[in-house]
Amino acid sequence: MEKKPLVTVIIAVYNCEKYLAQAIESVLAQTYKAIEIIIIDDGSTDGSAEVAKSFLPQIKYYFQENSGPGAALNQGISLSQGKLIAFLDSDDLWVADKLSYQMRAFESNPDLEAVFGHVRQFKSPELDEASKQSIQIPVEVISGYFKGTMLIKREAFERVGWFDSQIKIGDFLDWYLRASEQSLKSLMLPEVVTKRRLHKTNMGIRERKSYSEYLPILKASLDRRRSNSK
């Protein structure tokens, strides 16, 4: 029987002891079995390390000084052996068929470089009513243009380039803009592949001030597009 290509799953974690185990379990439960799981602990000071290590030897665990999400993901990629790379945030979950759906898409269209999927957003069950009500989810299921749904061929990722480790918020926006500028051949599957948890800690990302960090990222992309079209 032909050997299935190895998929490296990178989970960067920073102080997420509460949800990390569920994230890892959702990867171990994949119906596609040829996977390598790399956990990059970005300097957690809570019990994340113990949670991660409890899954040894099914995972590979690496600790680094806190350097931000982009640097942590890049570290994971540099250690990875897979022909394909996927990412999961330490507080999110994959559906069991996530990688199977996506590998099937690659098989039927070998020219594809990356496959995304839909995401279902959910309010973390332990939130109190007030917090739950403060989060608006305009649509529960939405096309998931974010790291947590993407499965990408290694050579395509390298073609676009690594994450910018200087960017703390919007690292994927920056990466995806570069990918679009370079005409990444991607597909959005209609299936839900990732469940995205909305909770108190990650809502910090949605503070208004943080959104303003998107502006220089967009500006840099506009500049690149103009200089490329010259």
Sort strands 7-13 and 35-41 into parallel, antiparallel or unpaired: parallel
Examine residue 166 and tell whether it contacts another protein (CB under 8 A).
Answer: no
Residue 149 in contact with residue 193, Cβ under 8 Å?
Answer: yes
Query: Toward another protein, which CB reaches closer, 56 or 218?
Result: 218
Handedness of CA 167, 168, 174, 175 (dihedral sign): positive
Sole binder of another protein in the list 15, 64, 165, 182 (CB under 8 A): 15
42 close to 14: Cβ distance less than 8 angstroms: yes
Among 29, 56, 141, 205, binds another protein (CB under 8 A): 205
Q: Which amino acid is at 109?
A: N
* Subset of 174-203 contacting another protein (CB under 8 A): 176-177, 180, 198, 200-201, 203
Instruction: By CB under 8 A, tell whether 161 contacts another protein.
Output: no
CA distance 85 to 157: 8
Smallest separation (angstroms) from another protein to the CB of 190: 14
| Token pair recorded at residue 72 | 């942590």
Whether the CB-CB separation of 171 and 164 falls below 8 Å is answered with yes
Does 145 contact another protein by CB under 8 A? yes
When asked if residue 135 is in the footprint of another protein (CB under 8 A), the reply is yes
CB closer to another protein out of 3 and 208: 208
Q: How far is CA 62 from the centre of its chain?
A: 17
Considering only residues 73-132, where is the footprint of another protein by CB under 8 A? 119, 121
Q: What does the alpha-carbon distance between residue 165 and residue 143 come to, in Å, rounded to a whole number?
A: 26
Nearer to another protein, 46 or 97 (CB): 46
In angstroms, the CA 35 to CA 51 distance is 19
Shortest CA distance to 8 belongs to which of 90, 95, 93, 79?
79
Tell me the closest approach of the beta carbon of residue 55 to another protein, in angstroms: 21
Of 83, 216, 55, residue with least CA distance to 151: 83
For the CA atoms of 109, 85, 163, 75, the dihedral, rounded to the nearest 10 degrees, stands at -160
Q: Residues in contact with another protein, total (CB under 8 A)?
A: 43
230 makes contact with another protein (CB under 8 A): no
> Which range of residues in 53-61, 78-86, 100-108, 217-225 is near another protein by CB under 8 A?
217-225
Interface residues for another protein in 30-69 (CB under 8 A)? 42, 69
Q: Decide: is 136 part of the binding site for another protein (CB under 8 A).
A: yes
Using CB under 8 A as the criterion, which residues of the chain lie in contact with another protein when the complex forms? Answer: 14-15, 42, 69, 119, 121, 134-138, 142-146, 168-169, 172-173, 176-177, 180, 198, 200-201, 203-212, 214-216, 218-219, 222-223
